[in-house]
Amino acid sequence: MDFDLSEDALAVKKLARDFAAKEIAPYAAGWSELEEFPAPVFQKLGSLGLMGMLVEEEYGGIDVGLVAYVAAMEEIGRADQSVASSWNAHSTIATLPLAKFGTHEQKERWLRPLAEGTHIGAFGLTEPGAGSDAASIRTRAERRDGGWVLNGNKIFITNAGTEISLGVSVLAVTGENADGSKRYGVIFVPKGTEGFEVGQPMRKIGWHAMDTRELIFDDCWVSDEHLIGDEGAGLRQFLSVLDPGRISVAALSLSLAAASLDLALEYVVEREQFGRRIADFQATHHRLAEMATQVETARLLVYRAAWLADRGRDFSMAAAMAKLHASEVANKVASASLQLHGGYGFMRETPISRFYSDAKILEIGEGTNEIQKNVIARKLLRGTTER
């Protein structure tokens, strides 16, 4: 077994680390405090090729695979979770449906500006009454006048309301089958389309610099050319890109855990209590050892899932395991790090307070951890029936 990154992955990792140190880390606290989405950062990421890491070169990407993507996420997420989470949503659920199921014309029209980073992408799934239960969505798209008319609401949608947003790929009900079951389609709705309204930014516990909105579709018409993939296959198509998205959130979680450990190490060697550095107490040693071990177990699971994906092997259960474990580790390590910081950690001026606030959503987004357990259990039970 070889745990070394390839030369390409190492080069991408260094590129992301240098960029994050110069363009993200010094400003992250200010963006968070002002709840400001830093659009120029994403355009600069695009100029480096990092907005299309999973998109083929023909359409403006660099197509370096998930291992290299995870390596880059470790560096960007260590600098700021808001930027990293927006980049995650753009790189996976926003671009992959177009990359996997779009026509050549759709890829040239919409995928290319996303991959080149002139614009940022969004995907509209979650609704006020449908989150983990994606099949319960109520937004409808009806055939009319050579196109589709959309009506409904989406909520908690990332990247749809920024100054560089291109539009949103919307999962909608497109009809019913003979047995009464729903049919689904994915339809791309450009920003500014009549009948498509973007709500005000939503205020969140964490990810303050990430754009999150409600979307309203009121007799919003788009032409047939806006249907991505096959009508009726929209839900299946979306679910097929969830596994890479889960790996991405797992990598985001890993980056938060690693950053929290780094912050703890920096603090305990500087802070003194009872005439000694906090780092000199055995209780501190034990806590740091536990944190470091948890981070490393998360890292192994995340990279293993990405490695399986890059080799074209079944990685669905590995992705669910990585997301489940890494998000739990992120919360545990962030909490332990804040505890080591004591009262200073509870102050918003400290970086650990920002990472602590950002941690909880990792157990919820891209499929709650309860859903990940369902995925893992189904895979395990299916394996027993195939023996």
Cα–Cα distance measured from residue 163 to residue 210, given in angstroms and rounded to the nearest whole number: 13
**Which of 334, 386, 341 minimizes the C-alpha distance to 355?**
334
**Which of 51, 60, 3 minimizes the C-alpha distance to 303?**
3
Provide the token pair at 382: 């299916």
Q: Which residue has the tokens 């369902």?
A: 374
Residue 373 makes CB contacts below 8 A (sequence gap 6+) with: 320, 324
Cα–Cα distance measured from residue 361 to residue 384, given in angstroms and rounded to the nearest whole number: 33
142 is catalytic: no
SS3 86: helix
Cα–Cα distance measured from residue 167 to residue 81, given in angstroms and rounded to the nearest whole number: 23
Cα–Cα distance measured from residue 318 to residue 310, given in angstroms and rounded to the nearest whole number: 13
**Which of 322, 270, 319, 318 minimizes the C-alpha distance to 299?**
322
Cβ–Cβ < 8 Å for 77, 259: yes
Catalytic residue among 142, 366, 370, 386: 366
Cβ–Cβ < 8 Å for 37, 162: yes
**Which of 93, 108, 7 minimizes the C-alpha distance to 56?**
108
Q: List C-alpha distances in Å: 59 to 73, 114, 186.
A: 22, 9, 20
Cα–Cα distance measured from residue 146 to residue 148, given in angstroms and rounded to the nearest whole number: 7
Provide the token pair at 237: 């198509």
**Which of 36, 74, 62 minimizes the C-alpha distance to 299?**
74
Q: List C-alpha distances in Å: 334 to 32, 96, 148, 202.
A: 17, 31, 46, 24
183 burial (CB, 10 Å; 0-12 / 13-18 / 19+) is: middle
User: Which amino acid type is present at position 255?
Assistant: S
Catalytic center residues: 366
